[in-house]
Structure 1
Amino acid sequence: MRELIIVGGGIGGLALAAGLKNRGMHVQVLEAAPELKPVGAGILLANNAQKALDHIGILSNIVPLGQSLREGAILNQKGNTLGKQLTLEDARPWLGIHRGALQQGLLGPLEENQVVLGRRVVNVKVETDRVVLTTEQGETHEAQHIIAFDGIHSPFREAVGDTRSIRYSGYTCWRGLAEGWDGPKEYFSETWGKGKRFGIVPIQDRTYWFATANAPHRDPKMKAMDGAALKTVFADFHQEVFELLDLTPKVIWNDIEDIAPVKKLVYGRILLAGDAGHATTPNMGQGACMALEDAATLTSLLTKNLNWDEVGRRFEQKRLRRTAWITKQSWQLGKMAQWAHPLAASFRNSMTKMTPDSLSQGLLRKLANVTFEA
């Protein structure tokens, strides 16, 4: 029986395994996917995420895989600036990176067989002295403690009696990677329309974009949309949107969902981390960042001479309030950004234009103001 198993070989799980490995601890990771392919689209790594990667000991391996972003802005449908989102003057630039590239970078410090693939956990049994996991293949894996980094649909929430349900935001999302777009390399933007948005993030040799629109939950019409169909949806947006859609070979779709904040992340022998414990909407670009913060915090705690109960207590003390703040702020920002009524959208744009840069800087500083010792 192992002392600890990490379930989930995504960004958070791999980051924790890498942080522990860099400190001499070998922890097995169970991952549902049969192989770790460079799939997905792009993500933003803000200052706090880069701090976490630095604490884990792998930032220098990740930075060359992404694109430095020194300035960003919110635009209206015509492409005119409503408000600037400057990265902090005294901090690292933000980083735009392909999710697959980040995942491969996190794998770097790990041993060849440390991540066990094709092991989807379908049953969780908590016993007096252990947790027994059963996979789809019928295998059992036992450990004294489990850290669940296995995403918003984690079976561990139900296993520990966490009754929170996934909540739909009211808007859906498409994402893609445009090839060969000749746009600015160190600048990212988000365009706000009436009930829809379009974001642009350079990630080295390609450009990641995302688009949102108010829609019913799990609408098959939204799922079926390709680049040509999206050009119709965003027909009143500026020219760069059409250029990017024309240069995108594949569109990825998903509804935007989260989980309401909770007052507990540790249930006896099981600790919920990343999206398994505090999934957030992507409106602040903080989903992966929060998972990396979790991983950095756990790296610190698990390499101290602490018993499991104390690890859990300190983890909750460090992470509950911050993740709840991010989830609430992101939910509220998304609701405002998706306002569809012309008068409401016009008011939102006017208020955004009048917001002083100092207020944006204050929010960025609050995001960046994080430590991982607990």
Structure 2
Amino acid sequence: MGNVEEVIVVGGGIGGLAATYGIAKLGKKVTVLEQAPEFGEVGAGLQVGPNGLRALDALGVLEEVYKLGVFPRRHVFMDALDGKELSAVQFGESFEKSFGYPYLVIHRSDLHSVLLKACQKLTNITFLTNHKLASIEELSNYVELRCENGEVLRGETVVGADGIHSVARQLVNPASKPVASRYVAYRFTVPMEEMTINIDWDEKLTWIGPGIHLVQYPVRHKSVINQVAVFKSNSYNEETGDWGSIDELREMFADCCPTMQESLKFVQEGFVSRLHDIEPLEKWSTNRVTLLGDGAHAMLQYLAQGACQALEDAVCLVEKLGANGSNVAKALNEYQQERIPRTAEIQRGARTWGEIKHAEDPATRLLRDTIMLNRSADDYTYLEWLYKERKLTSV
């Protein structure tokens, strides 16, 4: 029999690398498997709320992240049809006083590179690329992982950070499958000098309308504007993947204000994804295997919490492994007990906020807009459940 690794992390994305770094800092030897030929991130911008920054601080990489991030002055909600401001969240001093950390936007690959460089400085981490997990089997003394390239690895502890289509999840929850939301997202970046619209780029904007929304904010020291156009596809087909075309996007956004029309001129350069989440799970862990990030709790992006929750997972997992010595099964159980209620609440909250944001019924839209217009920019009541520091539950 070959070597049995101490810890294997499946997936070298943001959550996987955060867990790898934290676990390695405990003194454990970690092997991280990445299916791609090299470690990197696809996609564009990423929002990191105070809870995500708190997790990055706990990992010890916050200073490097701050060097690459942009700190918006406000998050402004706009009516996509008439172009008027509906509401805003004021960042800055009062926000930081409430939550302990600011609000940051960053390019996904910039955050990923900070975590990767931190990992590369540690000698007890082994990186394996071109290792796509094919199957996983848990035995009494170790876990066996078979990769599509023919490699077989064995690990004492395995962390499945392998995304929404997680192979590791099939061991823990074989019935769990991605759930289509019928919404499509086109992500695209535009060089700042090409943006011809008159917008204050010290702000982050979310334009909302019936079955649609557009998010805009700057990244990379405000040299690039990240844009995400989301719409409900009326051509949704469960059997095929050819729904949500660019023509349908243009049709769905046809009634929007001139500023949005101008912003959407660049959309053909986009990176398209059909939006899925998974139903909240009741179990993440066996005695030797646990899940993290999208593998555990893939969520719709409407609360901008996907990466933040993966980072929270990583910090919690590291704490539990550190506190329980050689009793890995106890650590993994305490980890799932703490994280499942939190992430399930956010998964459900993201679905609800998507429905509110995309409301098509006129009465619902009127009610939503009235509430938004009547709240003040420094009223953080609706954000406390997401961003407030949470004391660890004693187990």
Q: Which amino acid aligns with 2:17?
A: L
Partner of 1:318: 338
**Shift in CA distance, 369/319, structure 1 to aligned 2, threshold 3 Å:** same
Q: How far apart, CA to CA, are the structure 2 residues paired with 1:165 and 1:355?
A: 38
Question: Does the CA-based 8 Å contact 2:14-2:111 persist in structure 1?
Answer: yes
Q: CA deviation digits over 1:130-182, x for unaligned, max 9?
A: 11111111110100111101111001222234422221223221111111237
Question: Does the CA-based 8 Å contact 2:42-2:108 persist in structure 1?
Answer: yes
The TM-score with structure 2 as length reference comes to 0.87
Question: Does the CA-based 8 Å contact 1:22-1:56 persist in structure 2?
Answer: no
Q: Secondary structure at the match of 2:90?
A: coil
Unaligned segments of structure 1, at least 5 residues: none
Q: Secondary structure at the match of 2:342?
A: helix
1:83 aligns with 2:101: no
Offset, 1:370: 3.4
**Shift in CA distance, 143/201, structure 1 to aligned 2, threshold 3 Å:** same
Q: Secondary structure at the match of 2:39?
A: coil
Q: How far apart, CA to CA, are the structure 1 residues paired with 2:356 and 2:56?
A: 31
Q: CA deviation digits over 1:259-316, x for unaligned, max 9?
A: 1112221122110111111111111000110000001111222233431122122212
1:289 aligns with 2:289: no
User: Which range moves more in the overlay, 238-247 or 70-79?
Assistant: 238-247
1:159 aligns with 2:171: yes
Offset, 1:10: 0.5
Partner of 1:109: 118
Partner of 1:43: 46
User: Which range moves more in the overlay, 28-37 or 105-114?
Assistant: 105-114
User: Which range moves more in the overlay, 125-134 or 177-186?
Assistant: 177-186
Q: Which amino acid aligns with 1:59?
A: L
Question: Does the CA-based 8 Å contact 1:281-1:327 persist in structure 2?
Answer: yes
Q: How far apart, CA to CA, are the structure 2 residues paired with 1:372 and 1:251?
A: 40
Partner of 1:142: 154
Q: How far apart, CA to CA, are the structure 2 residues paired with 1:161 and 1:43?
A: 29
Question: Does the CA-based 8 Å contact 1:123-1:133 persist in structure 2?
Answer: yes
Q: CA deviation digits over 1:31-54, x for unaligned, max 9?
A: 111112453111100000000000
Q: How far apart, CA to CA, are the structure 2 residues paired with 1:89 and 1:156?
A: 37
Q: CA deviation digits over 1:101-132, x for unaligned, max 9?
A: 11111101223873211100011121121111
User: Which range moves more in the overlay, 274-283 or 293-302?
Assistant: 293-302
Offset, 1:249: 6.5
Aligned residues: 370
Partner of 2:242: 220
1:6-155 maps to which residues of 2 (within 5 A)? Answer: 6-37=9-40, 39-77=42-80, 78-87=82-91, 88-90=95-97, 91-111=100-120, 114-155=126-167
Q: Secondary structure at the match of 2:380?
A: helix
Q: Which amino acid aligns with 2:102?
A: P
Question: Does the CA-based 8 Å contact 1:17-1:29 persist in structure 2?
Answer: yes
Q: How far apart, CA to CA, are the structure 2 residues paired with 1:156 and 1:16?
A: 16
Q: How far apart, CA to CA, are the structure 2 residues paired with 1:25 and 1:370?
A: 28
Partner of 2:209: 193
Q: How far apart, CA to CA, are the structure 2 residues paired with 1:37 and 1:155?
A: 20
Q: How far apart, CA to CA, are the structure 2 residues paired with 1:261 and 1:67?
A: 32
The TM-score with structure 1 as length reference comes to 0.91
Q: Secondary structure at the match of 1:114?
A: strand
Q: CA deviation digits over 1:335-362, x for unaligned, max 9?
A: 222222344333332333234557x502
Q: Which amino acid aligns with 2:68?
A: L
Q: How far apart, CA to CA, are the structure 1 residues paired with 2:101 and 2:268?
A: 32
Partner of 1:174: 186
Offset, 1:86: 2.7
Runs of 4+ in 1 over 4 A off after TM superposition: 229-232, 355-358, 371-374
Question: Does the CA-based 8 Å contact 2:324-2:330 persist in structure 1?
Answer: no
Q: How far apart, CA to CA, are the structure 2 residues paired with 1:367 and 1:343?
A: 28
User: Which range moves more in the overlay, 200-209 or 178-187?
Assistant: 178-187
**Shift in CA distance, 3/24, structure 1 to aligned 2, threshold 3 Å:** closer
Identity, % of aligned pairs?
Answer: 28
User: Which range moves more in the overlay, 1-10 or 157-166?
Assistant: 157-166
Q: Which amino acid aligns with 1:66?
A: G
Q: How far apart, CA to CA, are the structure 1 residues paired with 2:320 and 2:111?
A: 24
Q: How far apart, CA to CA, are the structure 1 residues paired with 2:371 and 2:287?
A: 46
Question: Does the CA-based 8 Å contact 1:157-1:163 persist in structure 2?
Answer: no
Partner of 2:383: 364
Q: How far apart, CA to CA, are the structure 2 residues paired with 1:117 and 1:286?
A: 27
User: Which range moves more in the overlay, 86-95 or 45-54?
Assistant: 86-95
Q: Secondary structure at the match of 2:230?
A: strand
Partner of 2:283: 264
